[in-house]
A and B are shown apart, each in its own frame.
Chain A
Amino acid sequence: MTNEVKPISKALLYVDGSESSITAAQYAIVLSKKYGFSLKAIYVVNDTLLTELLGAKVFVKMEKMDYERDLEEDGKRYLNYVVKLGERKGVKVQTALRKGIVHEEISREVEESECSLLIQGELGEVLSLRDSFYEEGERILRKVSCAVLVVKNKKNVDWLYDSI
Chain B
Amino acid sequence: MKLTDYVAPEHVKIDLEGGNKEEIIEELVSLLVETSDVSDADVIYEAVMKREREGSTGLEKGVAIPHAKSDAVKGLSVVIGVSREGVDFEAQDGKPSHLFFLMVAPTSESGPHVQAIAKIVKMIKLDKFRKKLIEAKKPADVVDAIARVENGEGEEI
Contacts and interface: CB of A to CB of B under 8 A. Distances in A.
Interface residues of B, number: 29
A131 B59 contact: no
A125 interface: yes
A74 B152 contact: no
A71 B114 contact: yes
A57 B54 contact: no
Contacts of A158: none
Interface in A14-72: 17-18, 46, 49-50, 52-53, 56-58, 60, 62-63, 66-67, 70-71
B150 interface: yes
B107 interface: yes
* Chain A, interface residues (CB within 8 Å), range: 20 to 34
A50 B116 CA distance: 12
A132 B151 CA distance: 12
Given A63-B51, A74-B111, A58 B152 contact: no
Given A126-B152, A128-B155, A129-B155, A49 B114 contact: yes
Contacts of A46: 114
Given A53-B118, A56-B59, A63-B54, A127 B110 contact: no
Contact of A57 (B51, B67, B92): B92
A58 B122 contact: no
B122 A57 contact: no
Interface of B: 1-2, 51, 54-55, 57, 59, 65, 67, 69, 92, 107, 110-111, 113-114, 117-119, 121-123, 126, 149-152, 154-155
Interface of A: 17-18, 46, 49-50, 52-53, 56-58, 60, 62-63, 66-67, 70-71, 74, 125-131
